Structure 1
């Protein structure tokens, strides 16, 4: 089944859970251990809750000491099943009031609620309009929980644990401590994203005078909004007088009959941890490094690995070879005295194993290593600009992960690059032939003149040498041969410099291409992969946030 088709049959919650799982896996070793553990805990909790009864809605009453939580529980249930006393804490273990027993046991076992009371008269959602029908809120599990500010640590742990498991949260506050910072900062604010499954009840309003109620409710609403609850559902009740109890019952019945509280709770859990994984702010996708950044990295690494030295050697080697082939034959031997820099760098051998071939370039010194490391670090920092610090670190780590092998890989790439070290130019043989002809002409003229001088010395009589424009031919041959050789030598030297520069440019291009291949594999590729991973992570977070 294709991903698109499989996604089409998944519920929105399932899609968001899959997205959170994907983000958590992609963020492995890039997220803090606490964030990663919290995300996996949400996924495990969601998996467990979704295998349990979907016909039951778990509603928890959470409150501080003295808030009248147990009295309110009894008032909503309509029976005195929760213990109420003046001593504190009254509730030391969770108590469940259950409407609709069938299928509730596995859910309550998961919640670790053992004190269970099965009730017969479910809450009813009042009918709306003339033709409306009354609905029974069957499948309701109402929990009376220990005080979350209890001095007994075990009681606080139970309340905290179940705050992360119930489907609907009802915060029970009282007029004396409704603004308690500990209550809001430690419990309500961290769960502010759960507004869809949160009710806030101000109990004991009978203790307030009529003119005090509106200001207190307004103050509490303002505090809840500062906590992060949007349009908080706030109800004033009195468990003693019964004021507001029926309205609270209706709110609970409305949530239960909608049959969406469990999914809404899990969706809020997913959104909360997704924002936490994104450090609580919108994170933009990263762009892969620009071509300019890559070229700069390649150029810096090429310089650090000795490409400039090789290019200079190619230029010099070409000139030496050109002089050996086209220089004046009587002075060519001088070029053999000068060492060939390409041969010294082990770049002029033709019978080599590419896998074992290495140059004889000097080992990189501290300056070269620092230059290479700085270039890689600058490239990674530029690529990770704008990412959260953990992802910046991971991009930098990927860029430098193969740093130990990089110098050897670059050296091997240079060694196996064809810089045309043994290839000559088309004009070399032609000039060489002309040089030998000019030398032969000059030697022939010299021998002729020598013969004439010897014959004259021996007092033999020979006809005079032919002349051209009054110049004896042997003299002309000697002069022209020498001049032609010298002129060709100068011209071939100029041509060799031009050709050497051209050969050096081509060699630089080939060497940079070889360096680029290594850099792409060892630095750019891993960085691009990490950026793509980051972008997939961001995309998964966005889907998880909904």
Structure 2
């Protein structure tokens, strides 16, 4: 690969690693901590490996007891490294054969490989400048727990994995279920060698290799190189060398290995997130329905009803009508209205001198029905917003909606108390009606006074002047009748006008109160939910990038 191509691969790997880290951070509190810790380990391993020698390719030989793994290692190395260095019938700790010592120490220290052998050049395979490290590792089915732990650790660290199988146990579930299947994304850095083919009749070698390929294909490793070899006879050893040399000379094994690790980690996050599809798709699960204007309006409406907003609106209407009666009613009877309590004052909603942030209403405290209605409204909103989201994220969104539930009653009460209900605002028509009412009353009283004077003069046997008449009716009588009738008519007309104006004032109050409740709902319910929805969207996008999509 060209230098520019390698730089492009590294840049893509940078983006994917960064996206994986973003996805991990975004998933905190939503996905199991164990899963997030596994992803962090992948990121730490990637950071450590990239800080070490990029000129060396580490190839690990893995196999079961009796697979001839160490023998194949020696055959590929061109020397009895394993036997000569360790003098044991089975491998108990990692052993390294090194071509290109310079820069390898820090890498081997990180791998915790103490036994190191500087290998002699093998023509056509490896020289000092090849930058190749072969590791002979303990058997993965060893009875010693320490050996199995070494294998598990090395599976996650080496750049290229060479799985050495034998004809008797090539389909063993231990290697396939525990190792090969979980590494299905690592096909580009995996080589499978069927060793000891010399133990098979010649006509059975190809069918056995084909059978092995079918098994691997079922595990997502259909494109993996599958080679037959015999460490004893040397058959196929050159093919194994060629496959390893190709990986070493391309200098892409490290990036490919880490990219596969990121893909697997992204799939693990997707699986933990609740993706119903194949984990390797790493799609991050379904997409949440989100918050809609209709759902927010529904939430605000239900919270308003639970907070007795209709009761406040009714009080606004009745308060306006009462005030209108006091100001436009017939002066003879309007004073009676002053004995009727103002509904808004009873609810402590007509205090002009109160500070809005400290004011509270005297509305009835929320009882069980109101609390149940509030809970149902919040739950319904969260259900609608999280519809379609993966299971763990739905739980997070619901939890976010419930976080401010305990603060809702007091916050809504304060919002109601702080809402301008225009209770002190006078209507323009009150002054005109009031002036005419008093004019009518004065006219009627003047008529009464006139008649009173005439009666007094008659009682005192004094001359009584002629009273002017209108259409045969005495003017004082007309004044009394007209004044009283006009006052009553004005009072009746004012009642109808007040009813319509009160309805309009109530509608304005309802709108203002709902807006105030909607603001509270936005702060305590909607915004936390939208924050989690945004986190899910960012998580899904980061996971998609991490998966290489």
TM tier, shorter chain? over 0.9
SS at match of 1:146: coil
- Counterpart among 251, 264, 267 of residue 259 in structure 1: 251
Partner residue of 2:314?
312
CA distance in 2, matches of 1:416, 1:8: 60
Q: Does 1:208 align with 2:210?
A: no
- Deviation of 1:348 after TM superposition, in Å, equals 0.8
CA distance in 2, matches of 1:372, 1:388: 25
Number of positions where the alignment pairs a residue of Structure 1 with one of Structure 2: 530
- Deviation of 1:395 after TM superposition, in Å, equals 1.5
Q: Does 1:78 align with 2:78?
A: yes
Partner residue of 1:39?
39
Partner residue of 1:441?
443
Partner residue of 2:144?
152
- Counterpart among 412, 423, 426 of residue 425 in structure 2: 423
CA distance in 1, matches of 2:410, 2:524: 12
Partner residue of 2:3?
none
CA distance in 2, matches of 1:10, 1:495: 79
TM-score of the pair, normalised by structure 1: 0.93
Unaligned runs of 5+ in 1: 1-6, 126-133
Partner residue of 2:533?
531
Q: Which shifted more, 99-108 or 214-223? A: 214-223
Partner residue of 1:478?
480
- Counterpart among 356, 359, 367 of residue 357 in structure 1: 359
Partner residue of 2:4?
none
Partner residue of 2:28?
28
Instruction: Say if 2:400 and 2:528, in contact at 8 Å, map to a contact too.
Output: yes
- Deviation of 1:405 after TM superposition, in Å, equals 2.0
Q: Does 1:199 align with 2:191?
A: yes
CA distance in 1, matches of 2:246, 2:371: 70
Residues 157-194 of structure 1, C-alpha deviations (whole Å, 9 max, x = no match): 11111000000011111111111122111111111111
CA distance in 1, matches of 2:422, 2:155: 75
Residues 483-542 of structure 1, C-alpha deviations (whole Å, 9 max, x = no match): 111111111001111000100111111111212222222221121122111111111111
C-alpha spacing 1:51/1:67, structure 2 compared with 1 (3 Å): same
Partner residue of 1:97?
97
CA distance in 2, matches of 1:361, 1:110: 70
C-alpha spacing 1:232/1:10, structure 2 compared with 1 (3 Å): closer
- Counterpart among 402, 405, 410 of residue 403 in structure 1: 405
- Deviation of 1:451 after TM superposition, in Å, equals 3.7
- Counterpart among 270, 287, 301 of residue 262 in structure 2: 270
Residues 365-397 of structure 1, C-alpha deviations (whole Å, 9 max, x = no match): 111112112211221222122222222222222
Residues 108-129 of structure 1, C-alpha deviations (whole Å, 9 max, x = no match): 111111111111214626xxxx
- Deviation of 1:11 after TM superposition, in Å, equals 1.5
Instruction: Say if 1:137 and 1:253, in contact at 8 Å, map to a contact too.
Output: no
CA distance in 1, matches of 2:50, 2:142: 31
Which structure has greater helix proportion? Answer: 2
Instruction: Say if 2:99 and 2:128, in contact at 8 Å, map to a contact too.
Output: no
Partner residue of 2:293?
291
- Deviation of 1:321 after TM superposition, in Å, equals 0.4
Partner residue of 1:19?
19
C-alpha spacing 1:89/1:487, structure 2 compared with 1 (3 Å): farther
Unaligned runs of 5+ in 2: 1-6, 272-278
TM-score of the pair, normalised by structure 2: 0.92
- Deviation of 1:403 after TM superposition, in Å, equals 2.2
Partner residue of 2:54?
54
C-alpha spacing 1:233/1:91, structure 2 compared with 1 (3 Å): same
Instruction: Say if 1:122 and 1:136, in contact at 8 Å, map to a contact too.
Output: no
C-alpha spacing 1:386/1:525, structure 2 compared with 1 (3 Å): same
Partner residue of 1:108?
108
C-alpha spacing 1:9/1:328, structure 2 compared with 1 (3 Å): farther
- Deviation of 1:450 after TM superposition, in Å, equals 3.7
SS at match of 2:134: strand
- Deviation of 1:468 after TM superposition, in Å, equals 1.4
Q: Aligned-residue CA RMSD in angstroms?
A: 2.1
CA distance in 2, matches of 1:65, 1:8: 41
Partner residue of 2:389?
387
C-alpha spacing 1:448/1:88, structure 2 compared with 1 (3 Å): farther
